[in-house]
Each structure stands twice: as C-alpha cells, then as structure tokens.
Structure 1
Amino acid sequence: LLLNRYLDLAGEDDGLAAMPVFMALRAVIRAHVTASAAEHGRSGSERAAAFAEARRYAEAGTVMLRRAPARLVAIGGLSGSGKSSLAARLAPELGIVPGARVLRSDVLRKRRFGLMPEESLPAEAYGAAVTAEVYRELGERAAMALGAGYAAVIDAVALREEERRAFAAVAAKAGVEFTGLWLDTSAETMHARIESRRSDASDATAAVLQQQLQSDPGMLDWVRVDASGSPEQTLATARGALAI
C-alpha cells in the first residue's frame, strides 16, 4: 500500500525495476548493523536474539530478490461494486515483494489535474476525451510494471468493450497472463456503498451510478465475481478465480 501510494503521487513507475535491489540492499544493511551490534555489551540471550533478528533481515533480503511470474489483473464493475477494496486486498498476494502495482483510474484522473486523490474534480473532468486519456495511461503504466517484473492490478469501471479489450492487449503484448474480474452486486448495495464513502478518490454519485446502470456493457467475457458479501468473501472468490 505504501509503495502504491508513493507511486500514485510521484508517478515514478519507471523506477520500479530497481526496487527489489534497493529493498534487498536495505535489508542486508540492517542485517549487518544488527549482527555487529550483537557483538558489543550484550548478554548471551540478548546476543542470540539479535543474531536471530539479523538472520531474519538477511532472509528477507533474499526473498526480495526472488522472481515471480508477472501477470495483469483488471477489476471492473460499476461504481460501488467494491473494485478498489478488492484491488487493495489482492495486491500483496500477486507477483514479487511487496506485491502488485495497483493502478486506479480515479487516482490517475486526479493526478492529471494536479489534485490529491481525495480532492474532487468538476464534471467536465469526466468527459469522454479525458476518460480515454486516463485509460490509455492505465495501460501504459501497467505495461511499465509488467516490464519491470511486477504484477499489476487495474481498477477501473471498464464499462466499454474496447476498454476491456485494450487491457487484455497490454498483457498480450507483455507476454503475461491476463485475468479480467467483473464485480456483480445489487444496485441497492452499490448505492449504499457510494453514500457511505468518506475521503475516497472516487467522485461517483448516485446519479453517476444510475447512468451506468442504464448503459450496455456489451459482451462481458471476464470472470463474474459475486461482490454482494463482505470484502473478505469477495477476496476469497477472486482468489479462487485467480488460482492463488
């Protein structure tokens, strides 16, 4: 979560490839410092505990250098269906340490206008031209993460067939596995979730949801996920679909 928040604000996705090395380096330095300190002025039990801690740091550094298959997961669905909640819970379980790069359309849209994620945008910022640019950037940043060896999770409504096809094409070009998850739940549940939001990147309102409900998403060939239950239940269903 911390890495994704930093990248959302700084936009330095092109540095992702160096992250495993820097994290491992930091862990090894901590291992060295901890082991060195254990040699000076400590009792036998304290020394043993310090050496054990140093070993944990060294082992963590090794884990941070392990590779794992990159993959792209796209989570779509109407506003209030639970996309962002699921993306945040899935990310730590995908790809290499510290987890997947989460790319949220709401956050990228705010960044284009120089706003923090929790600040609100005017209605004109949600026009078709801006939305097309946001979705293009989602694909570009996902490609960066995949190219750096990371998994990526795209969090966007993706109500149009061409948007969903474009995400699949990003994975195909990168030569990685793609899975699209479409979250299903009742209109009442989505309305309730929208009304309960506080300090969230989404500007969606009940009126926006109503407009989405009246739209035709076209052919939906993504995995349908029942998102009517708790976040934990939705996560369990998604994990099954992703075989993780």
Structure 2
Amino acid sequence: MDASAAADPPPPGPPVVVETHSALIFLWGDEAHKVRKSVDLGFLDNTTVGARGEQSRREVELNSRLAPDVYRGVLEVRGPDGEVIDHVVRMRRLPARRSLASLVRLRAEGGPGGGDTDIVVGLTEVARQIARLHAAGPRSEEIDAAGTPAAVAGLWTRSLAHLRRLDVGRDAPEIVDDIEALATDYLRGRGPLLESRVADGRIVDGHGDLLAADVYLLDDGPRVIDCLEFDDRLRYGDAVLDIGFLAMDLDASAARDLAVVLLGAYREASGDDAPPSLVHHYIGYRALVRSKVTAIRAEQAADGDGGRGDARRALELADLAVDSLLRARVRLVLVGGVSGSGKSTLAAPLAEALGAELLRSDVVRSDVVRAQAAPRSDRYSEAAVGAVYTEMLARAAASLALGRSVVLDATWLEPRRRAEAETVAADTHAELVEISCTAPRDELVRRITERARGGTDPSEATIEVLDGQLARPAAWPEAIHVDTAELDVRDREAVRRWAERELGPLPWA
C-alpha cells in the first residue's frame, strides 16, 4: 500500500481515496486511514468484521518493527446501536515525493529529487534495516519449515495454480507453463542448498511484501511500511526471498542498478553469501506473486482502461518471472581445447559473467600431486590425469548441489571425460554447457611460447604436448566452438556479450 499516493503537501479539501486489491486508503491532511475490503481472495479472507479487526491490529503491531512512528493505532467504527461494524488503521501520512517508487520514476524522467546518490545512500540503509529485522526476529521449527524444499515447491505450486484460474493465466498459459517448468527444474537438484539455508539460520520472519511504493527515504532515515500481516506463514521464508521482493520491484521498474546496490548492501550487512542462482530463483517467485496480485486487480477493475493496463502489467511481470528463472539456471560449463587455445583466458571472464566457481585442471593437478606425494614424472600418466578429472568433477558436484554454477577449465579432449561430466550434470540437475576453444596453430605456438617465457601460469604445456594433441583430434559435436583469435577473450565485456548471445540471460544479482 502506498499511503501517500496524492501530491505532497496535502491540499485542503476532501480526502483522496487510493484503492488496492484488498483495501481503501483515505488520505487527508497529515493522516492516512486504511479500511479493509470485505473480500475473499483465496489467500486472504477478510469477509468478517472480526477478521478485518484482527488484521488491522496485526498490521499496527508488525509494522511497528520498522516504522513505529508511522502507525498510530486502530480505530473502531460503531453502528447506531454501538456495535463494532468495522476497523480503521490510523497512520501518519508520509510524503509521496519521498517514496522510493516516486524517486525511481523521477530518476528515469531526469527530474529533480531523483538523484542517484541520495537513493543509493537510502537503499543501503534500507538493506541494513532489513538485515537487522532478520537477525533480531524469532526462530522456531515452524519458521525453519518454510525454507524446506517441500515448502518452497509448495509456494510455486499454489501461486501458479491461482494464476491459472485468473483471466491473465488463462489468456497466456504458455508463460505459466514456462514458469512452472523452470522453477521445477531448479528445485529438483537444490535440496542440499535449501537444507543448508535452514541449517545456517537463513529462514526468517521478514517483511513479506517489500515494494518500492512502501519504502520512504526521509531526511531522518528510511521508513518501511505495509508488511504482510494477514498470514504469518507468508512472512516466513528465506531471507533472500524477503529482500528479493524489493530487488524484483526495482528491476521491474527499469532500475536494475539499484537492485544490485540493494542486494550488495544486504549481503554486506547480513553476511549472507547466497548463490546468484538462489537470488534469481526467489526474484522469479516474487515476480510471479506480483503478476498474480496485479491480475486480481485487473479482474476487479472489470473492463475499464485500468483493468486492461493491469492485465498487461501482469503479463509483463510473468515475463519477468521467466527471465529471472532463466538467470537462475545452475550450469556446469566445460571450457576445453588444445594447449594455447585460450581456454583459460576465456574461462576466467566467463566464470565471472556466470557468477560461477572456476576450477582449472592445472591448479587441481598441483593439489592432487601434493595430496598423493606423487613423483613429478607421474604427473601426466593416465592414472594421474584420471585422478585430476575425478577430483575436479567431485568439487564441481558439491558446488552444483549448493546452487553454484561451475566452470571447468581443462582440455576435455577425451570423450569419456566429457561423458563423466555429463553424468555429474545429470546427477545434480545442472545444465551442461560445452565450449571448445580453437585457434590457428601458429597462434597456439606463439601463446605457449609467451606463456613459458612469462613463467607465471600454472600450465606446463609445451609445443611437443600441443603437437601430440593436434595429432589425435577427437570430434566434439556437442560443443559451442569459439575461435579465440577472433573473439578477444581478454576483454571481459566482449566475453560477457558473447556468453549472453550463446547461453541466454546471465545472472546480474
């Protein structure tokens, strides 16, 4: 709820009425009064006076955690016989021009008051406030249960089923199907990740409904209002699910850079290093929730222009859910090729673009040799090479299960090694991406020679090793082939653009 949708300062005259899918807010003078609708939305039933009273009291109690000076209490509305017939939440009216939503719009329009610096400072403090809310909140088995794999899958199931029953869902079933398929694919392999989040205490009693319209960046600090009060269980969930709601709203408002600021500040304040895949997964879920709520509002508005606009917006939010889930994909990426082909030079910026862990066979080989105390002459025996690939894939499997994409930098010239990687990807429900780096032989020779002269790279490949590899070429039809003499793999932005073209949407969180 935006408790200040009218102009500021408030003009004299009659109140301004703002309508949401579940309430009416009357704005007059320096106060806002909220009256709940007598509606049953499936996830919210306020058809009785008692229910509306309870939700009003809970609203004041819960929002006092973040905005104690905004919520002034609950008023009773009585009929002629003195019987309570409804309840009104009394609030301090906040300046509309200082809402985060207004500031983001002003920034986009280039208007005064939308300066990036002020917004960044305010958003950083919002992230700190939410981190403190999460840290200070209660802990219980019921709260922890909201972060289990079954509970998270249930969130998707219920929201998708609700959207399918609405006009927007019926008009665009293919989008709903895409959301369901992508969310389900992600969750299949992420049991260890979700269980680790519970064990690490990352399941919280949060705000539950963080939107830019309900965040106010005031001179004396932010005020965050209108948390979800009608069902405690809907406030329970992963901390990233909570802060991800506001990140989603900023992204949907073409302010992705501010979403990055918010998430970075929250990570610093909370110490929560959640993998990018989980952040995007939960951003996708929040986009689905807003799509559903906007679709409900579209049906309430019937055939007016507002209804058609809300229906379009609901579809845009559903598209955002698909986009976020595509960015959430967990990938096992093989970057291979003969010595000097540029695979290591490509692998590093590619891992950065994917938010992935990078494992180099040359580095892992040193670890394996140290652990086994093997003689130097045995470093490239068949058994030693097999041990390196086995160790790389074991490390990759552990990271993939925890939602972290992995880039594996090795030659991958033998089909059986690639088959082993395919098995790991299947077992961890990760997407396998295979990339083969190539370059003309004279360029390969030049690179190996320069690398040896520099003496800082862990690779021990020589021109003799290169010629041996070239003499035993093996087809790699599944791979994306990239000529590293044409693509400047030292240019991180060029690599990111190439990856976006070849692999689709990349993580930004």
Same topology, TM > 0.5 = yes
Distance 1:234 1:58 in 2: 27
SS of residue matched to 1:114: helix
Q: Is 2:464 the counterpart of 1:207?
A: yes
Q: Is 1:226 the equivalent of 2:504?
A: no
Structure 1 residues 148-187: aligned runs within 5 Å: 148-187=402-441
User: Aligned residue for 1:216?
Assistant: 473
Please say if residues 226 and 234 of structure 1, whose CA atoms lie closer than 8 Å, have aligned partners that are also in contact.
Answer: no
The number of residue pairs the alignment matches comes to 193
Q: Which residue of 1 aligns with 2:502?
A: 241
The TM-score with structure 1 as length reference comes to 0.69
Q: Is the 8 A contact 1:86 1:235 kept in 2?
A: no
Give the 3 Å change call, closer, same or farther, for CA 219–84 of structure 1 in structure 2. Answer: closer
Matched, 1:90 2:297: no
Give how far 1:239 is off: 3.8
Contact 1:225/1:238, CA 8 A, preserved across alignment: no
The DSSP-based 3-state class of the residue aligned with 2:411 is coil
For 1:209, give the aligned amino acid. Answer: L
Partner of 2:38: none
Structure 1 pair 208/128, CA: closer, same or farther in 2 (3 Å)?
same
Contact 1:75 1:83 in 2 (8 A): yes
Shift of the 210–234 alpha-carbon distance from structure 1 to 2, 3 Å rule, reads farther
Structure 1 unaligned regions, length at least 5: 1-16, 25-44, 49-53, 116-120
Report the CA distance between 1:213 and its aligned residue: 0.7
Deviation at 1:226, TM superposition (A): 1.7
Report the counterpart of residue 78 of structure 1 in structure 2.
338
Q: Identical aligned pairs, as a percentage?
A: 32
Cα separation, 2, equivalents of 1:174 and 1:237: 26
| 1:126 aligned counterpart, secondary structure | coil
Which residue in 2 is equivalent to 1:138? 392
**CA-CA distance at 1:219 after TM superposition:** 4.3
Higher Cα Rg: structure 1 or 2? Answer: 2
1:64–1:196 CA distance, 2 compared to 1 (3 A): same
Once the 2 structures are TM-superposed, how far is the Cα of residue 237 of structure 1 from its aligned partner?
Answer: 3.0
Q: Distance in 2 between matches of 1:176 and 1:126?
A: 29
Once the two structures are superposed, residues 184-239 of structure 1 have per-residue CA deviations (whole angstroms, 9 ceiling, x without a partner) of 11111111111111210100011110111101214432111121132135554344
TM-superposition CA deviations, 1:76-118 (whole Å, max 9, x none): 1011111111111011221xxxx21111111111111229xxx
State the secondary structure of the residue aligned to 2:370: coil
The 2-side partners of 1:190 and 1:180 are apart by 21
Distance 1:60 1:175 in 2: 27
Cα 1:168/1:56, change in 2 over 3 Å:
closer
Q: Structure 1 counterpart of 2:439, which letter?
A: T
Where in structure 2 are there 5+ consecutive unaligned residues? Answer: 1-194, 203-218, 222-260, 279-327
- The Cα of 1:241 is off from its aligned counterpart by 1.6
**1:218, 1:56 → 2: CA distance?**
43
The residue number in structure 2 matching 1:128 is: 382
Distance 1:55 1:78, change over 3 A: closer
- Give the distance between the partners of 1:190 and 1:123, measured in 2 at CA: 25
- Alpha-carbon spacing, 1:239–1:128, altered in 2? closer, same or farther (3 Å): farther
Go from structure 1 to structure 2 and tell me whether the alpha carbon gap of 1:147 and 1:183 turns closer, same or farther (over 3 Å shift).
same
C-alpha spacing 1:123/1:207, structure 2 compared with 1 (3 Å): farther
Cα root mean square deviation, aligned: 3.2
Q: Taking structure 1 as reference, are residues 18 and 196 closer, same or farther at Cα in structure 2, changes over 3 Å only?
A: farther
Q: Which has the higher contact order (CA 8 A, sep 6+)?
A: 1
1:9 aligned residue: none
Q: Is the 8 A contact 1:225 1:234 kept in 2?
A: no
Secondary structure at the counterpart of residue 153 of structure 1? strand
1:28 matched to which residue of 2? none
Tell whether 2:360 aligns with 1:104. Answer: yes
Kept in 2: contact 1:181–1:225 (CA 8 A): yes
Name the amino acid aligned to 2:334.
Answer: A
1:43-58 mapped onto 2 (5 Å cutoff): 58=265
Deviations 1:149-169 (A, max 9, x none): 100001110111111111122
Structure 2 CA distance for aligned equivalents of residues 239 and 186 of structure 1 = 25
Contact 1:182-1:225 at 8 Å conserved across structures: yes
Q: 1:176 and 1:88, CA in 2 relative to 1: closer, same or farther beyond 3 A?
A: same
With the length of structure 2 as denominator, give the TM-score of the two structures: 0.34
**2:430 counterpart letter in structure 1:** V
8 Å CA contact retained: 2:332, 2:425: yes
* Cα separation, 2, equivalents of 1:189 and 1:210: 13
